[in-house]
Chains A and B, each alone.
Chain A
Amino acid sequence: MIRVESLTKTFGNKRAVDGISFCVERGEVLGFLGPNGAGKSTTMRMITGFLPPTSGKVTVGGFDITEKPLPAKKLMGYLPENAPAYTDMTVHGFLDFAAEIRGLRGDAKKSAINRVVELCFLASVLHQNVDTLSKGYRHRTCFAQSIIHDPEVLVLDEPTDGLDPNQKHEIRQLIRRMGEKKAIIFSTHILEEVDAVCSRALIIDRGNIVANGTPEELRQKSEWAGAVTLCIQGVTVAAIQEKFNMLRSAKKISTTTNGSHVTVTVFPRTAGDGDLTREVIAATTGWPVERLRTEEGRLDDVFRSITMPDTAGKEVK
């Protein structure tokens, strides 16, 4: 549904987006990750046709966004960053305007408004002015605007920004449900959201795609993926290190002691290696192991090591 081909945007001398390409198909929810200023919003603005690309191409549902903007925009719903809305209108007036400009009239308009009011829990503020709304409600009003025509493609720039945990949960549920039938791109800073919602994640940094895969695959890139953490009582640190250093799959070991308890983390040589767990279990036979856990890998760790390669991973040494 969305096809981005070597998309580039320069502002003066600065390359905000540097030749990125990717596709999003129907039934996919693509999480767009990256540090502030990585080019996430710029990319989304080009996809939605707000900013013209310096070079490269975006097609939505087969329509080129710069050559055939109207049919492409018709297929799309867009929630811009900071969720702007006309402050001099009521929530109902704003949704009515959004529906009308999308070509909905009469009963179709009425039922579309009712649907999004219900989906976004706006009934209690329907006749309130937008500028009197709390941030969460304003955000949901703008979100409601983006789905009012039940679009096939949704582009959401930080849809959960500024919401409380319950609202975040509701919006994530909604995105995931809609993602079954639509093509959705959403950007976020919150890594747990990627797990909760995305079928695929894309990390971009300084205008380039630096990682692309399912949340599972990304996690495998972490040095924590496949690491084994165990808690042992009554064995000296020296004895533990001696034993684990001999393991074939172990890369490094970190230990912390708390009284007679020792917590050990053994990192695998190749990330996501399942052999390590077996080796650790075999090596600790007869020891009073209290807890043992195989780590799944941490997205935030992957994120840091990809976007800040110089500093990541220092604290585990």
Chain B
Amino acid sequence: MNSFGPIKTIAKRELGAYFTSPVAYVFIVIFLLLNGFFTFMVGGFFERGEASLANSFFIWHPWFYLFLVPAVGMRLWADERRVGTLELLLTMPIAPWEAIVGKFIASWLFLGLALVLTFPVVITVNHLGSPDNGVILAAYVGSWLMAGAYLAVSCITSAITRSQVVSFIISVVACLFLILAGFAPVINLLQNLTHNWPWLVDTVTSFSVITHFEGFQRGVLDSRDIMFFLSVIGFSLFTTSVILRTHRNS
């Protein structure tokens, strides 16, 4: 059967739901304010004198997403279970994975929209100098993929519980792990502790979004990095479907 129809219908509904509640607007405003503040004030965009966005703009994204993406993803399944519409959704003539993918796509597109709305930064940097717009585009793609990975993790935590708050907290902790595994101070600590096993450090850092996001920031679209984000998404969505099935079985 054609899966495109159901996925599109669910994604459309979900996307509409963001914009009928204040969540979408609050999220976008906060995201843009944070971006502006960190890029120009903390990141010292003007003082740097570089025609680049890597160190002043994109470098903050893993940290913004840490709190903002779980806020977007927390309601995906938790709310559906709390209100009871899950029963409605799963008795419709659609496969559960279509519902999971549809809902994920809607939220991911929404995050993409928020990301696109940061375009004034690109205009600014183009106005002041002549940056490599290919690098900027690659970094945007990377940032969006990273947001997708966080979002997929939030899908899991949202499916675990009926409570959005619990979902949010667990998902922040899980995403924090994804960041810290590649965060310089943590890597140093690991190296000091385990200097006999460099492979352990490599394994841990290979799970970090920061490690994989770095390439994109430099304008390198490495297939391994793309695969990393896509496989986190795929694995998380699969886990979500297992969790939803387990709930119905017990």
Contact = CB atoms under 8 A, between A and B. Distances in A.
A256 interface: no
B6 interface: yes
Contact of A145 (B10, B21, B84, B88): B88
A49 interface: yes
B9 A101 contact: yes
Interface stretch (B63-71, B91-99, B221-229): B91-99
Given A52-B248, A88-B21, A97 B91 contact: no
Contacts of A100: 5, 9
Interface stretch (A70-78, A170-178, A306-314): A70-78
Nearest to A142: B88
Contacts of B16: 89, 93
Interface string B9-22: 11011001100110
Contacts of A12: 250
B202 interface: no
Q: Is the interface of B mostly helix, strand, loop or mixed?
A: helix
Interface in A90-135: 93, 97-98, 100-103, 129
Nearest to A131: B83
Interface stretch (A21-29, A79-87, A188-196): A79-87
A138 to B, nearest CB: 11
A287 interface: no
B9 A76 contact: no
Interface residues of B toward A: which range?
20 to 34
A49 B250 CA distance: 14
B6 A50 contact: no
Given A70-B1, A97-B9, A100-B9, A88 B20 contact: yes
Contact of A73 (B13, B20, B92): B92
Contact of B249 (A52, A73, A76, A129): A52
B87 interface: yes
B231 interface: no
Given A50-B248, A52-B249, A70-B93, A88 B88 contact: no
Interface of B: 1, 5-6, 9-10, 12-13, 16-17, 20-21, 83-85, 87-88, 90-95, 248-250
Interface of A: 11-12, 45, 48-52, 69-71, 73-74, 76, 78, 80-82, 84-89, 93, 97-98, 100-103, 129, 142, 145
Given A49-B90, A70-B94, A101-B10, 5 more contacts: A73-B92, A78-B91, A80-B87, A88-B21, A129-B20
